[in-house]
Amino acid sequence: MKKVGKFFVLTTAISVITMFSSCNKNEDAVQDIVAKTETTDYLNLVDAFSFETEEEITNSDDDLKSAELLSCLTVTIHQNENGEFWPRSWTLDYGTENCTCFLGNTKRGKINVKISDWWRNEGSLKEITFEDFYMNDNKMEGIKTILNTGLNENGNLTFTKKITNAKITNTDGLTISWNCEQQSEQIEGGTTVLFADDVWEVTGGGSGVNLDEKAFKMKITSALIYKTGCFYPISGTVEIEIEGEPVKTIDYGTGDCDNKATVTVGDVTETIEL
């Protein structure tokens, strides 16, 4: 995971998949799961708010953290009037035309970041907001906060991440909304200043309203493992409960850095590309 090869194309919600008893009809149901469910919409909704590059740029006790800056990305650091280093704020401006970023995703508009203290200090709070911001022509709104909750009993750095009043509007004007809270633990890479060796374990969940105006809930049932450089989780499971539909279980596999997962509805399982 981390991250998406393509941001998602939001599609109209599909009706409940009916599970049949015969072998042939089960095969038909598998095709329905792959072609018609909104599974990738939900999963990519979560990934859309990860913002790995933006967080690397602003996780700094200098002017900029080491990160690959695009020619179409302008980073502005806003100085404090009193001359103090903290708190800090940044504006990341991708311009008014689509800027091609990691794995072919496009971005335009501005991301505003505020942080109260160095991100590794307990109590440090980062807030991310959006200003006329689009990813792959889908408008993104909401607030993301990241609170450093200190070292746990394993001596690992932990964070609580919240996404509040998130909304994505696609080019057809359809929207999907989302609120969530997740707990993150850095299980590898904590002893270095590099991001490349970081591995994170994530738990938690959230809820929202999908494109068909149906309520949904998502819950991480087995911790998701994120490795820097991977757009999607490399392992872990998620359950998606959608109003009036059977529960979907998503399994990200056993450690491969790819864009594949399996989705299970009832006794039918199929591999999907995210």
Residue 42 makes CB contacts below 8 A (sequence gap 6+) with 210, 216, 218, 240
Question: What's the confidence (pLDDT) of residue 69?
Answer: 63
Residue 144 makes CB contacts below 8 A (sequence gap 6+) with 49, 51, 127, 128, 129, 161, 162, 163, 164, 166
Q: Is the pLDDT confidence value at 51 over 50?
A: yes
Residue 45: which of 143, 177, 145 has the closest Cα?
177
Q: Is the pLDDT confidence value at 68 over 60?
A: no
Chain segment 139-150, per-residue pLDDT in tens: 999 999 999 999
User: Per the confidence metrics, is the pTM higher than 0.85?
Assistant: no
Question: What's the confidence (pLDDT) of residue 145?
Answer: 95
Using 50, 70 and 90 to split pLDDT, how confident is the model at 9? very low
Chain segment 178-201, per-residue pLDDT in tens: 999 999 999 998 888 777 788 999
Q: Is the pLDDT confidence value at 61 over 90?
A: no
Using 50, 70 and 90 to split pLDDT, how confident is the model at 202? very high
* Cα 11 from Cα 193, distance rounded (Å): 41
Question: What's the confidence (pLDDT) of residue 36?
Answer: 29
Question: What's the confidence (pLDDT) of residue 48?
Answer: 74
Domain positions in the chain: 23-273
Question: What's the confidence (pLDDT) of residue 193?
Answer: 73
Mean pLDDT of the chain, nearest integer: 81
On whether the CB atoms of residues 222 and 254 are closer than 8 A, the answer is no
Chain segment 79-101, per-residue pLDDT in tens: 887 888 889 899 999 999 999 98
How many CA atoms does the CB half-sphere of 218 hold within 13 Å? 28
* Cα 93 from Cα 222, distance rounded (Å): 36
Mean pLDDT across 7-35 = 33
**Candidate from 8-22, 117-131, 164-178 with smallest mean pLDDT:** 8-22
CB count in 10 Å sphere of residue 217 = 15
Q: Is the pLDDT confidence value at 116 over 80?
A: yes
* Cα 160 from Cα 126, distance rounded (Å): 11
Mean pLDDT across 8-23 = 29
On whether the CB atoms of residues 68 and 54 are closer than 8 A, the answer is no
Higher pLDDT, 179 or 46: 179
* Cα 3 from Cα 229, distance rounded (Å): 8
